[in-house]
Amino acid sequence: MTPFEVKDCALLLRMSGLPPALNLRELLDRISVCGENVLYHHFCETTLRPTFDDPDYRNDFAVWAKLYLGDRVLAERLGIVDPYAFGTMGELRAAVLDIIDDRLGELTMVPWVRPGDEFHFKEATTVIFDTGERIRSPRALAPAILGMTNGSIYYHFLEALRRPPVGKDDFSAWLLEAGDDFAPCIHALEAIDFHFHSLPHLRKELARVLAAGEEMR
């Protein structure tokens, strides 16, 4: 089988150019016109940013609804949205707009935040580079993962989900080449609920399930 090429990536954040949202109506309006990269960033790239909010919600809109708008109902509804369950960013955008619009319909007043708590729309460029490291056997995958940077974990396990083959992480795609022998490992990787893991935790979890899958073979 071909060696696994370990890539790494780093995120470069920038302002989207959209004005910040001071209330829920403005959030709706901005999301309806923002670029797909903005949506992608606030849903999918949050793990690469410093935050302790990962145990609650993975996307920035849910975190903002909870912490600053004080709308826990909206936070719960947005927080459960899985960006990887949508085929396109357009579908994700439509789903998010529906949730916010429904919530606006339920409220008697548009909720506002105090100055300083606005939602700032950001986007990022993911700079990807080859580390030069190669993994030559499936058995070496788990120990190699333990030595990877957060950027590598993000690129191969999360970012990969939106690359062809869509919905498949790079580790599983590579293990498929090794045939049915590694099916338990692939199933174990698929079973990881990554929404509740920070990248350092995800690294440990990936190594753990791969080692356990090896034992089951």
Partner 1 sequence: MTAPLAAYEAIVGSSAVAQLRRLGEKLAGLRVVHVNATRERGGVAEILECMVPLMRDVGIDATWEVVHGDPRFFDISRAIRNGLQGRRVDLSKKDWRIYHDVSEKNAGRMRALLEEADFVIIHDPQPAGLLKYCPNRKGRWLWRAHIDISRSYRPVWKVLRTLVEKYDASIFSMPEFAQPLPHPQFLVPPSIDPLSEKNRELDPAELSGTRAEYGCDPERPLLVQVSRFDRSKDPIGVIEAYRLVRKVTPVQLVLAGSWAADDPEGKAVLEELLEAAQRDPDIHVVLLPSGAHKTINALQRLADIVLQKSTREGFGLTVTEALWKGKPVIGGDVGGIRLQVVNHHTGFLVNTPEGAAHRIRYLLHHRERIREMGNEAKEFVRDNFLPARHLREYLTLFLAIRSGKEERTLQV
Residues that bind partner 1 (CB under 8 A): 8-15, 19-20, 37, 40, 50-53, 116, 118, 120, 122-132, 147-151, 159, 200
Residue whose CB is less far from partner 1, 49 or 136: 49
The Cα 20–Cα 26 span in angstroms is 8
* Nearest approach, Cβ of residue 78 and partner 1 (Å): 20
Residue whose CB is less far from partner 1, 105 or 115: 115
* Nearest approach, Cβ of residue 198 and partner 1 (Å): 9
Residue whose CB is less far from partner 1, 151 or 213: 151
The pair phi, psi for residue 43, each rounded to 5°, is -100, -40
* Nearest approach, Cβ of residue 107 and partner 1 (Å): 25
Residue appearing with tokens 């923002």 = 34
The Cα 82–Cα 99 span in angstroms is 13
* Nearest approach, Cβ of residue 75 and partner 1 (Å): 16
* Nearest approach, Cβ of residue 68 and partner 1 (Å): 11
Residue whose CB is less far from partner 1, 132 or 164: 132
Reported in sequence order, the residue ranges of the chain that DSSP labels E, i.e. its strands, are 4-15, 122-135
The pair phi, psi for residue 86, each rounded to 5°, is -105, 140
Token pair, residue 14, equals 């920038």
Query: Minimal CA–CA distance to 121: which of 24, 216, 35?
Result: 35
Q: In this structure, are residues 121 and 91 in contact, taking their beta carbons and an 8 Å threshold? A: no
Residue whose CB is less far from partner 1, 169 or 182: 169
Residue whose CB is less far from partner 1, 48 or 186: 48
Q: CB-hemisphere CA count at 13 Å for 80?
A: 6
Within a 10 A sphere around the Cβ of 64, how many other Cβ atoms?
24
* Nearest approach, Cβ of residue 191 and partner 1 (Å): 26
Q: Positive or negative, the Cα torsion across 131, 136, 139, 140?
A: negative
DSSP helix/strand/coil, 72? helix
